[in-house]
Amino acid sequence: MMSLPSTSSCISKKEYDVFLSFRGEDTRTNFTDHLYKALKRSGIVTFRDDPKLDAGEEIAPELFKAIQQSWCSVIVFSETYAFSSYCMKELGEIVEQKNKGHKVFPIFYNIDPSDLRKQKGKLMKPSPNMKSDTRKIETRSKSGEKL
């Protein structure tokens, strides 16, 4: 009788269970913070970015490594998520990893999923601190796949 190989030999070791992708100014101190704490209490090893990341600062390679070293990503889509170049870069890497079997779980916080798909409603009204740009947001992953 043939035995199955051990799980540890079949599955590569990941550093994190979950990578949280979110727009800090929208959800860091409320929804995402509560979600992070609940995951942590449940013993789920979760990565979330440094709250001290300054506007204009480049995303550290460690952030992309954290996505690659996570079993799945939870994306908290919020009103200004799509207006953040950081979030769009994270999303591009998440899609790259999704194509390699990474699981992705979207959460729509205070927006309608159809608004994100159609880029309308609250998603087309940038905050007063943002430069207004009426062009549609089109983001592509590194491989050219439209997000």
Active site residues: 90
Cβ atoms 56, 106 nearer than 8 A: no
Distance in angstroms (rounded) separating the CA atoms of residues 7 and 64: 26
Cα separations (Å) of 54 from 50, 60, 86? 10, 12, 11
In the chain, the amino acid numbered 75 is I
Six-digit token pair at 10?
A: 């079949």
